[in-house]
Structure 1
Amino acid sequence: MPSRDFKRTDRVGAELRREIGLLVHAAVREHALPSVSVSDVEVTRDLDWATIWVTALMPEKSAEAVKGLKLLAPEFRRALSRSMRLRRVPELRFKYDDSVDRGERIESLLRANPLPPADEETDQADEA
């Protein structure tokens, strides 16, 4: 039997990402939360837990946004149970994804300290 490329958890995670993305977008407007977007969803093998990774437009307000989303998690789960065809909708955990912030910080450091072009390095080595 050929192996399946996509596991069930991957398919459920992708569907959860779509649905939760819409719910989070609506919650940001309704509850005046800082602007966030869903970057990834990881689902455990037994489908009991789903970790939702979010990124914030303003990183300094990320803690406030994640706190608000954690309070709204039961409401999101109830909405998901109505919109998705699953026996049991996983418990939702919201976490902040700081990879975008780290990438921007590295990029700003590289811009501040640019490397010399390769030609200048070889010229300096020849003079020494």
Structure 2
Amino acid sequence: MAKAYSRTQRLGSQIKKDLAELLQFQVKDPRLGIVTLNAVKVATDLGYVDIYFTVMKSGMVDADAATIKETEKVLNDMAGYIRSELAQAMSTRIVPKPRFHYDVSVDRGHKLTNLINKAIKEDSQHNNADNEDKEDS
């Protein structure tokens, strides 16, 4: 049986590592905030790679919708440059074309955490009110 860790996953890991270094040390675009690469998914035919990212503004503040949209546009406009830099860093015959997407899973996680915390707080207040009613009886 073939191992579950396929060639595309290995290539995705290498692309993520090399791209993180590229964004940190070589790309000096002031329109980019602090970009974090969350996931990389390489197509089975190696034609493209979907790169999921999150972004923060300077000062460690979560980015607003306009900043996210601009960052996604800047990264997708740089796709040719990024692909050529990745080709130099990697020793593969084919380097997939990068496509950047904002990772909404982090935002969903924050919303779910807030909902859970709110439910816990409301439940605790409800239990305290029930205990006070029992003591008054």
The interval holding the TM-score normalised by the smaller chain is 0.7 to 0.9
- Aligned residue for 2:37, secondary structure, equals strand
Which residue of 1 is the match for residue 59 of structure 2? none
Superposition CA RMSD, Å: 2.3
Structure 2 stretches of 5 or more lacking a match?
57-61
Superposed, which structure 2 residues align to 1:70-109 within 5 Å? 70-109=76-115
Identity of aligned residues (%): 29
Counterpart contact for 1:53–1:94, Cα < 8 Å: yes
In the aligned structure 2, how far is the partner of 1:85 from the partner of 1:36?
25
Match for 2:53: what amino acid?
V
- 1:65 to 1:27, Cα distance in 2 relative to 1, 3 A: farther
Match for 1:116: what amino acid?
D
1:13 aligns with 2:12: yes
Which residue of 1 is the match for residue 63 of structure 2? 59
In the aligned structure 2, how far is the partner of 1:63 from the partner of 1:27?
22
Counting matched residue pairs gives 121
Structure 1 stretches of 5 or more lacking a match?
none
Counterpart contact for 1:42–1:51, Cα < 8 Å: yes
Which residue of 1 is the match for residue 29 of structure 2? 31
In the aligned structure 1, how far is the partner of 2:26 from the partner of 2:116?
37
Counterpart contact for 1:24–1:37, Cα < 8 Å: no
Measure how far apart 1:6 and its partner are.
1.4
